[in-house]
Amino acid sequence: MSKPTKFETVSVNDIPVSDQLREAIANRPVVLVVDDESVIADTLAEILNRKGYAAIPVYDAEEALETALVMPPELLLTDVVLPGMSGIELSIKIKRIFPDCKILLFSGQAATTEMLTSANRAGHRFDLLTKPIHPNDLLTHVSASLKARPAQQRASVS
């Protein structure tokens, strides 16, 4: 039997960001892509990465929140229907933590309209893209969403 080891717990905030990563973040808008179907998240992230975005695929809302705390996104691109927390709930949480983060929702299910209407009544406004989406349409929506980002946000990384 091996001895149990104890590892010191370190807060993510205490881990320094490398200069190389800081430069990459400053020059490429970070897009967090969330879908519980990994092939969709990976494919959308690959499309965005090839167009110069720093796209990070994740597969559930909890992982998205953890990733966002380490790598704050300028855009959240999320499926509406996710296991556990919905994409709308995730979007609301992300906006509370990162108010300048842009949000694009996507879905292939008709039931999402009701969820989006409920969020709108609560004062949350999100754009909804329909699955499947052509890569050119995706890039157009992402580009339009990010064009409005403030100049100081592009130039600085904490």
Q: How far is residue 43's CA from residue 16's CA, in Å, rounded to a whole number?
A: 30
The CATH number given to 32-155 is 3.40.50.2300
Query: What would the pLDDT profile of 51-78 be if each residue is shown by its tens digit?
Result: 999 999 999 999 999 999 999 999 999 9
> The sheet that has 75-79: what strands, in order across it?
54-58, 30-34, 75-79, 102-107, 127-130
- pLDDT tens for each residue of 78-92: 999 999 999 999 999
- Give, to the nearest 10 degrees, the angle between helix 112-121 and helix 87-97: 30
Assess whether pLDDT exceeds 80 at residue 115. no
- Spell 118-132 as b/e; 16+ CB within 10 A means b: ebeeeeeebeebeee
Query: 43 vs 8, which has greater pLDDT?
Result: 43
In angstroms, the CA 22 to CA 156 distance is 9
- Give the start-to-end residue ranges of the domains of the chain: 32-155
* pLDDT range class, residue 156, cuts 50, 70, 90: very low
- Secondary structure of residue 57 in the 3-state scheme: strand
Handedness of CA 121, 89, 39, 104 (dihedral sign): positive
pTM of the model: 0.71
Task: Identify the H or E element spanning 49.
Answer: helix 38-50
